[in-house]
Amino acid sequence: MSWLPKSPKARRRLTLILAIAPVLALAAGLTLWGLRDSISFFYTPSQAEAAKPPPGRSIQLGGLVAEGSVVKHPDGRVEFTVQDQAATDKVVFSGDLPDLFREGQGIVAVGSFREDGVFEAKRVLAKHDERYMPREVSKALKEQGEWYGEGGKPMHEAPPAAPKSSAL
Q: What is the pLDDT of residues 98-124, one digit of tens each?
A: 888 989 888 999 999 999 999 999 999
Q: Which neighbouring-strand residues pair with 71?
A: 79
**What whole-number distance in Å separates Cα of residue 102 and Cα of residue 22?**
53
Q: Which CATH class is domain 41-153?
A: mainly beta
* Structure confidence at residue 158 (pLDDT): 46
Q: Pairing relation of β-strands 41-43 and 59-65? A: parallel
Q: Across the strands, what pairs with 110?
A: 60, 123
Pairing of strands 106-113, 71-72: unpaired
**pLDDT score, position 38:** 72
Name the pLDDT band for 126 (thresholds 50, 70, 90): confident
Q: Is the pTM of this model over 0.75?
A: no
Confidence band, pLDDT 50/70/90 cuts, at residue 85: confident
What pLDDT was estimated at residue 156? 47
Give the dihedral of Cα atoms 20, 21, 26, 28; nearest 10 deg. 110
Task: Spell out the long-range contacts of 14-18 with Cβ–Cβ below 8 A and sequence spacing 24 or more.
Answer: none
Instruction: Indicate if the pLDDT at residue 144 is higher than 70.
Output: yes
